[in-house]
Structure 1
Amino acid sequence: MRITLHWKLFAALIIVVAIFITGTAGYVYIEGWSVFDSLYMTAITLTSVGYQEVHPLSRAGRVFTIFLVICGYGMLAVMIGLVSTFLIEAEFTELRRFKKMKKRLQKLENHYIICGGGRIGERVAEEFARAKVPFALIEKDEERVNYLLEKYPGIICIKGDATEEGVLKKAKIEKAKGILTTFPSDADNLFVVISARAINPMLRTISRAAEEETQRKLTTAGADAVILPNLTGALRMASLAIRPNVVSFLDVMCGTGEFTLNLEEVEIPPSSWLIGKTLGEAKIPNKTGLIVIAIKKRGTDIFKFNPLSTEKLDPRDILIVLGSGEQIKKLKRYAREKEAI
């Protein structure tokens, strides 16, 4: 709708210019005036300023001036209508978008909160949206909020300062699964981590850090993981020089290549028919097309890489698999079945 209104305003501007050109040309032709005098006469006529005529008008010139006055009032009415429509439509669209977002926010639970809508926060939001992970993003800059809502219409973007406890509660931090702080300031990240832990101790907390010295402080404050963009960027550059094919493969898995694969984790539900079965009996590659990279056994931090076909599956085991998004969905459905299919 906004695009249509923009084009209407542009068309109205073209008409105004055309009327000015017509008026100027008319006075030049009818009265024989100079271009400047004709343009001046057209301007004061169309704007109804009321200054005296540049030169005495002939009968034909007066008729032409009446035509210009009618065009001027018509042009003014059209411009006022278009501008009013534009403003009302923009306000209505903003209100409707806010109501929809508020309704989605009320239903939100077991979600992630992204603090900061800068380049890193935007990329995290983009990845969450692609993976259909529920999240809310907090950003205090109004212009940035509008940009994000325009680019990603379906997201929940809250305008506010994430360092304030009230704003975190507005994002339903009590019911959240995790929080990611992406601010360029280590002090802001540290403050949010402390506040988040105080409100919801069970929250999984991931923080950005600009300085390596801050990593220990963030971990002590309760961050489960700390990411240093400068360090990861340096390691990537070194890897591109030393092992470019490995980086290309990782790009494919991260969705930055031409063909996208996902490295995903799938938990075995307690009621799954897969419990007690071996990987060979589960036939996951045959049924889904996925590659099982590793298994993380329940209640441990140990990964069994390249597991054997004789490896037994237990409730809450986590399978690390590689494949397309559709194949991963198929495995999740397959794992939820209570009987073999």
Structure 2
Amino acid sequence: MVVCGDDALARRLATELRSVYGSHVTLVLPPAGRSVSPTVVGRARASALIGRMSAAMNRAAGIGEPAASERLLEADELTDEVLADAGVERAAALALVHDDDETNIRTALAARRLNPRLRLVIRLYNRRLGQYLEAVLDQAAALATPGTDPRAFDASTTILSDADTAAPALAAAAVAGTSKVVEAEGLILRAAERTGPGPAAPGGSEICTLALLSDPSAEPAPDGGVPGPQLLPDEETVAAGAARGRVVLETVSYSGPNLPSGRSVPLGYLLSRRLRWSFAGLVAAVLALAIAAMLTTSDRDYPLHAVYLTVLDLFSINEPATGEPAARQILQLLSGLVGLLLLPVLFAAVLEALGTFRSGSAVRRPPRGLSGHVVLLGLGKIGTRVLARLRELDIPVVCVESDPDARGLALARRLRVPVVLGDVTQEGVLEAAKVHRAHSLLALTSVDTTNLEAALYARSVDPTLRVVMRLYDDDFATAVYRTLRTAHPRATTRSRSVSYLAAPAFAGAMMGRQILGAIPVERRVLLIAAVEVAGHAQLAGRTVAEAFRPGAWRVLALDTGSAGATPTIPAPAPPPDARGTATPPRLLWELHPGYVLRPEDRVVVAATRRGLADLLGHRPDTMTGATPPH
């Protein structure tokens, strides 16, 4: 695997490939100091740079120590010579994650020319340009290898954005308190640990058991260690190990209150509570006058006629009650007085409704009585993607943004999401977002100190509030996390960088388009992949139960979309429409064990690295890009 970049995402991606997938990686970075010619840095320096990150990441994920360190190249510019020195001509995949789109595009075109069979993963911010580029590079790979079976190798091109790939994890952290997630067809899945049998945790629906964790009370292994986890166990094994911890796959959902959606405007947005009470009092006065008129009339007037006469008196369009009984005259005077009181109330209602419609074209205010929502700070590149994800889950959101020209305000206006314009560090801004009644706080501004200040203030208001912060500096994020966890042990605190959350998706794309994500289980890893049934004897013509191979792979879901489609990593789902609804997922997760898999079907499977390699007909070293041992 070859990774080319100029920021933290490149280092994170290299670490993910080495520690999770066991791949050999060549990392190409710009020189740390003055410009020098491309040189191969010694293995000791590569270990110092990448090894420390691998060790820290492994300790956090519970994965074993990585393999031997790989090469690190320094280059001012990604020329053909640099790419050749990095081994692109014989590499399995190349990731271009520079912050500059033009650099990534130029290098991708050169790499496709050098190696038409190379898998390309490109980081681009421009979605439309990415779609065109992906089609061109895939067509170039097909024309450069005429007459070759496309299934013999995977020369796919995948365009990703760090903002799009980090958004599901941030949304899941706000809902379920975890970022260990996998995305499939717009559905967010999480791997959660359970102790013994029991229902899924709130905010999730359990799909299956992925693994049984190690049993500390078991007999030591021949090498003296504790036996490892059992991946993809069958039902009998799960029942026998009911006392052991297990890793289950769950869907991330939300069951709290929803914001009003649709094009209709609720009455609470148009009229304030005082005006509504004023109208109620006037209606009660009219009814009381009508009843009094009906009771004081000698011939006992009908109720509807009595109301009609009262309304005429109210608007002063009835004949004067001269020559009529005193009671009728008094009621007419009282009706005229109530009519005078009605005029200012109607005038105030008109002004308030006009003001509501005027502000509705800009941003909405948080509704009265809102609770259980997510407070989202920052509507920049990351915040906009996270907002779309949260609304796809029907989660009520209140946004806080200081820039009136932020890119996410248009999306918030279209989705009818309340926005508080103001600096979160100023007094009263977070109170206006009703953070004291919120479910969680997502601090996603581009300033670390602003995110920290907002989190600390929210903690002072509600010590149990779930807080997720976006912090750029890893050491600073670690220190903040440990301090807040110590100060508020009962609360959930997460501090993540975008590169940390985006690296798994980029690494999965480098493994091939089938890979949707990876889930670490102690010192091992499970892959979630999309596989076509056609051409796989282990799947075609078999039932779901017969296709299950314990310890190797398991069919999780069936794609109900178009048959024969090429498996791809699900692109980020489009934002919801103006009604706040999104296209429902095409994956069917509750498969009957007796369903027979057809060649035109496409399924989502959970598999080990070796199991997926056997299923796809590859050697394990071709799945990871590693060099087979001599």
Q: Please give the TM-score of this superposition, normalised by the length of structure 2.
A: 0.29
Structure 1 or 2: larger helix share? 1
Higher relative contact order (CA 8 A, sep 6+): 2
Q: Please give the TM-score of this superposition, normalised by the length of structure 1.
A: 0.49
Structure 1 or 2: larger strand share? 2
